[in-house]
Structure 1
Amino acid sequence: MVHAFLIHTLRAAKAEEGLCRVLYSCFFGAENSPNDPQPHGAERDRLLRKEQILAVARQVESMFQLQQQACGRHAVDLQPQSSDDPVALHEAPCGVFRLAPGDPFQEPRIVVWLGVLSIGFALVLDTHENLLLVESTLRLLARLLLDHLRLLVPGVCSNSSPLC
C-alpha cells in the first residue's frame, strides 16, 4: 500500500544555499498509535504528517546528493541541453531505502525515489511492495506531471529553468 507521495526540490551536492522544500504531498490514510495516550487533534495530525514528509524529502535529497557525488556529476549536469529535448527519465537517478520503525513513521516503510533534474519524486510504501512495479509507476507519474507542467506553462521548460 502507498502511504504517501511527495514532490520536492533537490539541490546539487555542492549547493550550499537553500533548503529542501516540499512542493506537493499527499498522505493516504492515517497512522494510529495504540500507545499514544494523547488524543489526536486535526492540527496535531497535520503537523505530524508535515514533519514526516519533510523528513522523507530530506533523506531523499541526501541519497540524491550521495548518488550524484558517487557518479561524479555536478550542478551543471542538472540543466537540460534544450527546451525541445524531453527529460530522459530512464537515465534519471533513482533509489530505494528503508525507514526503520519510528523514523519517522511508526511502522517500517520503504521509500522509492526518482530525481529528475532539480525535482524529487517519492513514494512511501509498505515493506512488502513490488519495487520494480513501483519504480516504473513513479517514472510514469513523473513523466505525466512534467509533460503537464510543460503544457500549462510553456516557458517554464526552457534552458534557464531548473524545473524541466
Structure 2
Amino acid sequence: MTATQTPTTTSAQAPPDGDFLRLDNQICFSLNAASRAFGGVYRVLLKDLGLTYPQYLVMLVLWEQGELPVKKVGEHLRLDSGTLSPLLKRLEVAGLVRRERSALDERSVQVQLTEEGVALRERALLVPRRIAAATGASFEEIRELRERLDRLTAALDEAALD
C-alpha cells in the first residue's frame, strides 16, 4: 500500500478516514495506557516482595518451569539476553536465583531458584488476586481478555513477518 492509499477495513463500525488518526482511536495507545496502569499497581504490590515487574516475570517462569537455560527463560518472556542478563544478575544478588554454566554445554547458562526463591512463591500468591481485584473484572473476564490479547499478539507477530 502506498502512502496515498486508504487502508481497507472489514468492519462496518470503522471510523471515518479523518478519525483514524485520533489518539482515542489508537488501540496501541489504549494498550500502552493499560500497561502503564498495570505497572503502577504491580509496582505497589511487588514492593513488599522486593521485586520489580520484570523480575517478577522471571520468577513466574522459574516457579512454573523449574530450572531452565537462560535462553529458554528469554523465550518464555520474549526478552533477549541483553535485557535478561541484568535481571538475572540482580535476582542472583538478592539470593533468589543461581546461575551456573551447564556441564553438558559450557555455552549454556542454567538458572535455578534458591531456597529463598522457592519460598518467595508463597508470598507472591496474593499478587494475582490483588491484581484481579484492582481490575474490577471477574476471573472469567480476565481469562477471556488474556485469550483475546494472546490472539492479537499472535496476529501481530504474523504481520511482522510479512
Please give the TM-score of this superposition, normalised by the length of structure 2.
0.32
Structure with a larger share of its residues in strand: 1
Structure with a larger share of its residues in helix: 2
User: Which of structures 1 and 2 has the larger relative contact order (alpha carbons within 8 angstroms, sep 6+)?
Assistant: 1
Structure showing greater Rg: 2
